Structure 1
């Protein structure tokens, strides 16, 4: 519970400073970095006519990105920050087959979809040292085709709320779940993307 409250406070402070619609309120350095991460995630496969679950969907930016590059995407987004969800719903109000949920993705029942995406939402420190592995396994169980997520490999402030991970440590764990794991690096400094296929 405390972990969740720290994350909420972290974003509330950024919303107050930058406004809820900014990339900075989501803890991105810039919209360009955010878009690059989306571009890498979207390389996971052919997303046309597929269902997608966006974990920590924020302002619905990934939903908007996918709508510009693919057709007939059934999109589901979940976030625990109401201000972000309000923005997401407004931004995508004319999009077909788009649903948003307010809540904690580790609690309750998630929709099983073709692809599960997580962009930036797993970068927070947690009191449980095995939390990242539990999350990856949990989300992998809810995809039919693949799970794609990005993580930080280094942080500007090691004492802050954000957590850096070793790509090898994460990849080694993912290999215990799947025979097909793809890792992409060198697209944004200090960031890597992992794709775990069924």
Structure 2
């Protein structure tokens, strides 16, 4: 619970500083960085006609991004910050197959979908040192085709709320339950994306 309150306070402070609709309120440095992460995540497979779950959907920017490139898909977004979720609903009001949920992705029931995508939501420090591994396992159980997520390999402020991971540590863990794990690097400094497939 303290982890959740800490994250919520972090974003509330960012909202006051930058406004709720800015990428900075989501802890992104810029919109360009955010879009680059989306571009890499979208390479996970052919998302047309598929169902997608966006973990920590924020302002619904990934959903909006995908509507620019895909013609037929269903989208579910979940976030714990009500202000972001209100923005997400408004931003994607013209996309009828988008559904948004308020809540913690580690609690309650998540839909089982073709693809689970996570952009930034696993980058927070947690009091449980095994949280990242539990989260990956939990989310992988809710995809039929693949799980894709990005993480930081380095942080600007090691004492801050964000945490960095070694790509090899993460990919080695994913290989304990999948024979098809892909790592993408060198698209942004200090960032990497992992894609974990069911087949």
TM-score normalised over the length of structure 1? 1.00
Output aligned runs, 1:30-45, within 5 Å. 30-45=30-45
| In 1, Cα distance between equivalents of 2:78 and 2:197 | 22
What's the C-alpha RMSD, in Å, of the aligned pairs? 0.4
Distance 1:93 1:34 in 2: 21
Aligned length: 198
Structure 2 segments unaligned to the other structure (5+ residues): none
The equivalent of 1:174 in structure 2 is 174
Deviations 1:163-190 (A, max 9, x none): 0000000000000110000000010100
For the residue of structure 2 that corresponds to 1:47, the secondary structure is coil
Structure 1 runs not aligned, ≥5 long: none
1:22 has 2:29 as partner: no
Runs of 4+ with >4 A deviation: none
> 1:119-142 CA deviation, whole Å, 9 max, x = no partner?
000000000000000000000000
CA distance in 2, matches of 1:158, 1:74: 37
Q: 1:154 is paired with a residue of what secondary structure?
A: coil
Question: For each residue in 1:29-64, what CA deviation from the matched residue of structure 2 results, as whole angstroms up to 9, or x when unmatched?
Answer: 000000000000000000000000000000000000
Q: Which residue of 2 aligns with 1:73?
A: 73
Question: For residue 61 of structure 1, what is the aligned residue in structure 2?
Answer: 61
Aligned twin of 1:46: 46
CA distance in 1, matches of 2:127, 2:83: 26
1:2-21 equivalence runs, <5 A: 2-21=2-21
Name the CA distance, whole Å, in 1 between partners of 2:2 and 2:177: 29
Residue 160 of structure 2 corresponds to: 160
Deviation at 1:96, TM superposition (A): 1.7
Q: Distance in 1 between matches of 2:177 and 2:105?
A: 20
Where 2:68 maps in the other structure, the secondary structure is: helix
Give 1:81 deviation, angstroms. Answer: 0.2
Q: TM-score, normalised to structure 2's length?
A: 0.99
| Aligned counterpart, 2:90 | 90
Structure 1: distance between partners of 2:129 and 2:95: 39
- Residue 73 of structure 1 deviates from its aligned partner by 1.1
